[in-house]
Amino acid sequence: MSGKDDSFTLEMPKVGIIKGVLAKDIEVVGDKVVNLRTCARPYRNMYSVAQLRALRNVIEKYGSGKVHLSPRHNLEIPEVRQKEIDTALKELYIAGLFPGGAGTSVRNIFTCPDWCSRQIRPVQEPGKMVSMRLGDHDMPNKVTISFAGCANGCSRPHNADIGVIAIGKVSVNDLACPDDCDACIKICKFNAIAKTNGKIRITDDCTHCAQCLGVCRDDILGLEETGFRVLMGGKEGSSVMFGREYASFVEDYEVLEIIEKSLHNYAAKAGLRPGSTRKKERLGEVIERLGLEAFMA
């Protein structure tokens, strides 16, 4: 922010500033209004009461009384008068809300909340760490990164360019399980738990979701180890792609290293989409073309 007296100038990033439905930084509607997209910095999907109050004031004073919460929890304010954009941006900026969250860049880092009872490991802080280092970085195409605290994947990590999912390795003690208890077997969606002569056994079909721990009433099952599974190459849209597993049971700092490496390789190896003279491949499309191992080499 710079300027003298009451003037205000916010240096805009090259990508993802103000976004409408067109592939432009500013969508002009009847040359009088624009649609403004804003989000917190570093990227988060948590907003404070003060930020929401500032948002309400901007919507009421400069917009049309409406706001849209995007799938990645960006805030989109339609129909802001063009002549009042600087004033609206200033009020949002003071509240910690910046223009952005669109374009060919690293998008809003999406995470689960830390208070979910199903979480195996918290993901807000790792997500914030990635956001501070990599948020808004210019990319060949948009890049979505999602963190999930458990295998339920409410933050949609399976269809993100890079998905990070907390997982847990379940241990079984040598005690016999009561004959009338098969709760862990019933809850397992992958048929990865078997019972022989009263003893519980985890099979190779286990996906490490650790949901069985929540129903074990006799402490037969325990949590031996936790970590993160990293998926790459997912995509939503007209052609859905599911991410491929690149690493399993890695720690927070390893996740950051993997993400940084994958983004570096993506920037270096992305080509044009077939039939396009301008639009670059998504990360998953590069992986499909090269293979995951060659992509990460």
| Domain assignments of the chain as residue spans, ordered by start | 1-102, 110-296
Coil, strand or helix: which one is 103?
Answer: coil
**Which residue type occupies 212?**
C
pLDDT at 270: 97
Q: Which two tokens stand for residue 199?
A: 């003893």
Q: The pTM is what?
A: 0.84
Element (H, E) at 99: strand 97-99
Residue 36 confidence (pLDDT): 83
Judge whether 1-102 and 110-296 match in fold.
no
pLDDT digits (tens, 9 = 90+) for 20-58: 333 333 445 455 677 888 888 888 788 999 999 999 999
Task: Report residues of the chain scoring pLDDT below 50.
Answer: 1-3, 13-27, 29
How crowded is the C-beta side of 128, counted as CA atoms within 13 Å? 11
Contact 112, 155 (CB under 8 A): yes
**Which secondary structure element, helix H or strand E, spans residue 93, and what is its range?**
helix 85-94
Q: What is the pLDDT of residues 84-128, one digit of tens each?
A: 888 888 899 999 998 876 778 898 889 988 888 889 999 999 999
Token pair of 292, please?
């995951």
Written out in words, the top-level CATH class of the domain with range 1-102 is: alpha beta
In this prediction, residue 41 carries a pLDDT of 81
What's the pLDDT at 180?
Answer: 83
Q: Is 3 left (phi over 0), alpha (psi -120 to 50) or beta?
A: left
The CATH number given to 110-296 is: 3.30.413.10
pLDDT of the residue at 22:
34
Neighbours of 48 (CB within 10 A): 12
Task: Please tell me the predicted confidence (pLDDT) of residue 86.
Answer: 83
**165 touches 112 (CB < 8 A):** no
